[in-house]
Structure 1
Amino acid sequence: MPTRRVHHLAAATAAATTALTTVLTALGAAPAQAAGPLHLVRPGESIQQAVDAALPGDTVQLLPGEYRGSVRIATPGLTLRGAGPESVILPADTARAGVPETAAACATAGHGLCVVGADDRPLTGVTVEGLAVTGFRKNGINATGTDGMTVRATHVHDNGQQGISQERSTRGVITANESTRNGQSGVFLANTVDSEGGALSADGTVVSGNLLADNRIGVTVRRLRDLSVEQNEIHGNCGGVFVVGDEGVPRAGALTVTRNRVVANNRYCPPNPRLDHIQGAGIVLTGAEETTVTENQVRDNVGASPFSGGIVLVHSVVGVANARNTVADNLVVGNGPADLADRDTGTDNAFARNHCAVSEPAGHC
């Protein structure tokens, strides 16, 4: 390779790394370092080709610019890194050449970035950081069958369904992201979306320090256990946080929602065949057990939905009551029709030391 070319690559890589460091530092996330060889991708080049060429532990580095087409990751330990929100993954231009075979299933499903493992062989140690994913028909970042996946400092916006989605995955870290204006949830965590079943353990998955705004729901946790949702800024959605369970065994729950700021989630989202309309919903538990909701600031969530209010307990769509949940030490003010609302039939949920004005029924403030 000519010396001039080597110098150009080194300069471009250094610039991209410096840009990412600036983004991560501003968001309070520690910058990551490349663990293996670096595969540099420029605008107009194929991310998928670089991903396919990478080995476990390698880093695929995107320079600032637009990248068209879905990307599928199935290599353990791979890092896909942009130079901040200026590195943008967009749907493919239909006038261009065909989608690479390795990305075809992801593109056909309508997702932007797919990280794919298997139930019996999870994909381990993948990191996605410092890039934007926007405009896809379904999910921006879609992960299934992963273990120890990190999604950090991404801007995932204006996708048709979920912003960042993980199913059948464990020990995930979703931190310092902006997930906005997605058709469903900013962050969506579930056992699975295509079959019924009891809750799975997420083995300590953490959703922390994210900005989740103008989605249908900020964070949805569906049929999972053993995870935490903490220190997120959640505003302008129809609903802030939904913990969703049903009659499946084990039940959803045994998780923590703590130190989040959940403010003015007052958009109106119309009903669907499964749920009534959503508006003005702060933190909602439905069909959950043994969940701790503590030290959150929940303000100004107002609506006339069954889910409306600051912190709300309501039975699941199949009539399963919440059980043995604890709501304590929260600042819950300015919500309507109530700051704390127990609209369920369960009798063993605890409310303690919350600062609020109106509870339903009376006596929880």
Structure 2
Amino acid sequence: MTKRHITYLACAAALCGSLLGAAPATATHRTLVVHPGESIQKAVNAAEPGDTVLVLAGTYHESVKVTTPDLTLRGVGQETVLQPAKKAKKAKKAMPQKAAAQKSCAEMGNGICVVGTKSRPVENVTIARMTVTGFSRIGVMAVGAANLNVHGVAAVKNGQWGIAEERSVHSAYRYNVARNNGDAGLFLANSVTTEKGATDTDGTVVEHNLLEKNRIGVTVRRLRNLTVSDNSVSGNCAGVFVVGDENKPKAGHIVVADNQVVKNNKYCKKTARLSFLQGSGIVLTGTEDTLVTGNKVTGNSGKSPLSGGVVVFKSFVGATSDKNRITRNKLSGNAPADLVNQEAAKHGNSFKDNTCKKSKPAGLC
């Protein structure tokens, strides 16, 4: 754990304390304490709306599914560690198709799952102050959540995403550490599996997170009305990805502000959706009316089609990027250029008041 990790988690501890102090529990709100060797899931199942499940320091080999609204699942810091359960012996008979379609959080390879339904989202859940590591897919996954609060979580070395959500609104991700995950440290999407137009997040925020050595620091895919600000993003193949496609409505009305996006120069091979990645700072593709402002973007260098400091990229699927504003950013040492605009002038993307030396085409600095 580096000093920066400790700083982020210490800030989360202070935030947690202030939040708890601001709203003292009523007599009907309980704290269920989980000791090492006990089941977190059992305590979560026993909890009622308004309760807190407090997980003491130790390593817990299990996955946890949360469906109760107004529930807080909280550790005591980095010493509360959630890891996959030990593999059970394979059953002799194959799992029936219906059962396979209803896999548990653990069977899906996830650590913590916050799950609502399409008609009834799970509301006001808090996940705080713990380490979630070693899961084959996702550290913390939310599906169908509203007013979710994730802070002080270290999502480390998970196979796909560190922390992710889909079909969720008005979430807050603050003071988390996402490091060495197989794809994005933080991944937010309208839907993971369905191709459809962007949805409104009702003001989701991604703030003050440390995103290091993932494939992508943070990915925002097919969403609208969201803020990514004051994050430290470094050592990834790409820093910040804001992605739309040909579906309507288009992704956009997003703010990317005041982030430190530095040396995202790790090499990641191509996938079915993207070319190889290396040296991408902030990338907009298939988006509209997005503001990129006040960011410090330095030392992002590579030869990928998406390389550069701030890149407005012509989408692989032909979706244009329109009326985005790139302003007041400080850029240096990015290659092939600090600012890259691959869209035609008719799409109305503007570059103003940025501090930089080189752009493609020339004249954007």
Report the TM-score when normalising by structure 1: 0.90
User: Among residues 72, 81, 95, which one is paired with 2:65 in the alignment?
Assistant: 72
Contact 2:12–2:129 (8 Å) recurs in 1: no
Q: Which residue of 1 aligns with 2:111?
A: 112
In the TM superposition, residue 248 of structure 1 has moved relative to its aligned partner by: 0.8
Residues 1:334 and 2:320 aligned together: no
Q: Which residue of 2 aligns with 1:54?
A: 47
For residues 72 and 149 of structure 2, the distance between their equivalents in structure 1, rounded to whole angstroms, comes to: 9
Contact 2:218–2:240 (8 Å) recurs in 1: yes
For residues 118 and 288 of structure 1, the distance between their equivalents in structure 2, rounded to whole angstroms, comes to: 28
For residues 280 and 166 of structure 1, the distance between their equivalents in structure 2, rounded to whole angstroms, comes to: 26
Q: Which residue of 2 aligns with 1:350?
A: 350
5+ residue gaps, structure 1, are: 1-19
In the TM superposition, residue 359 of structure 1 has moved relative to its aligned partner by: 0.5
Q: Which residue of 2 aligns with 1:360?
A: 360
Any residues of structure 2 matched to 1:230-309 within 5 Å, and which? 230-309=229-308
Q: More deviation in 87-96 or 223-232?
A: 87-96
Residues 1:44 and 2:30 aligned together: no
Instruction: Give 2:363's aligned amino acid.
Output: G
Contact 2:12–2:174 (8 Å) recurs in 1: no
Structure 2 counterpart SS, 1:52: helix
Contact 1:79–1:128 (8 Å) recurs in 2: yes
Structure 1 counterpart SS, 2:120: coil
For residues 227 and 136 of structure 1, the distance between their equivalents in structure 2, rounded to whole angstroms, comes to: 27
Q: Which residue of 2 aligns with 1:10?
A: none
Structure 2 counterpart SS, 1:282: strand
Q: Which residue of 1 aligns with 2:81?
A: 88
Any residues of structure 2 matched to 1:143-222 within 5 Å, and which? 143-222=142-221
In the TM superposition, residue 166 of structure 1 has moved relative to its aligned partner by: 0.8
Q: Which residue of 1 aligns with 2:95?
A: none
Contact 2:12–2:151 (8 Å) recurs in 1: no
Contact 2:218–2:239 (8 Å) recurs in 1: yes
Structure 2 counterpart SS, 1:247: coil
Instruction: Give 2:317's aligned amino acid.
Output: V
In the TM superposition, residue 94 of structure 1 has moved relative to its aligned partner by: 2.1
Instruction: Give 1:29's aligned amino acid.
Output: L
Q: Structure 2 vs 1, CA of residues 26 and 55 (structure 1 numbering), >3 Å: closer, same or farther?
A: closer
Q: Structure 2 vs 1, CA of residues 243 and 25 (structure 1 numbering), >3 Å: closer, same or farther?
A: closer
In the TM superposition, residue 118 of structure 1 has moved relative to its aligned partner by: 1.4
CA RMSD of aligned residues (A): 2.0
Contact 1:24–1:30 (8 Å) recurs in 2: no
Q: Structure 2 vs 1, CA of residues 160 and 346 (structure 1 numbering), >3 Å: closer, same or farther?
A: farther
Q: Which residue of 1 aligns with 2:15?
A: 29
Structure 2 counterpart SS, 1:48: helix
For residues 76 and 209 of structure 2, the distance between their equivalents in structure 1, rounded to whole angstroms, comes to: 19
Any residues of structure 2 matched to 1:95-134 within 5 Å, and which? 105-134=104-133
Structure 2 counterpart SS, 1:192: coil
Deviations 1:127-170 (A, max 9, x none): 00000100000000000100000000011100000100010100
Any residues of structure 2 matched to 1:8-27 within 5 Å, and which? 23-25=9-11
Instruction: Give 2:351's aligned amino acid.
Output: F
Instruction: Give 1:364's aligned amino acid.
Output: L
For residues 194 and 250 of structure 1, the distance between their equivalents in structure 2, rounded to whole angstroms, comes to: 17
For residues 233 and 23 of structure 1, the distance between their equivalents in structure 2, rounded to whole angstroms, comes to: 13
Structure 1 counterpart SS, 2:219: strand
Structure 2 counterpart SS, 1:202: strand
Structure 1 counterpart SS, 2:107: helix
For residues 305 and 343 of structure 1, the distance between their equivalents in structure 2, rounded to whole angstroms, comes to: 13
Structure 2 counterpart SS, 1:188: strand
In the TM superposition, residue 77 of structure 1 has moved relative to its aligned partner by: 0.5
For residues 220 and 307 of structure 2, the distance between their equivalents in structure 1, rounded to whole angstroms, comes to: 18
Contact 1:315–1:345 (8 Å) recurs in 2: no
For residues 229 and 167 of structure 1, the distance between their equivalents in structure 2, rounded to whole angstroms, comes to: 16
In the TM superposition, residue 317 of structure 1 has moved relative to its aligned partner by: 2.1
Structure 2 counterpart SS, 1:318: coil
The list of structure 1 runs, each at least 4 consecutive aligned residues, that deviate by more than 6 angstroms after superposition, is none
Contact 2:9–2:175 (8 Å) recurs in 1: no
Deviations 1:83-129 (A, max 9, x none): 10110000001259x9xxxx961111111000001121111000000
Report the TM-score when normalising by structure 2: 0.90
5+ residue gaps, structure 2, are: 1-5, 92-101
Structure 2 counterpart SS, 1:131: strand
Instruction: Give 1:75's aligned amino acid.
Output: T
Contact 1:111–1:138 (8 Å) recurs in 2: yes
Deviations 1:18-59 (A, max 9, x none): xx9x95447663423274200000111110000000000100
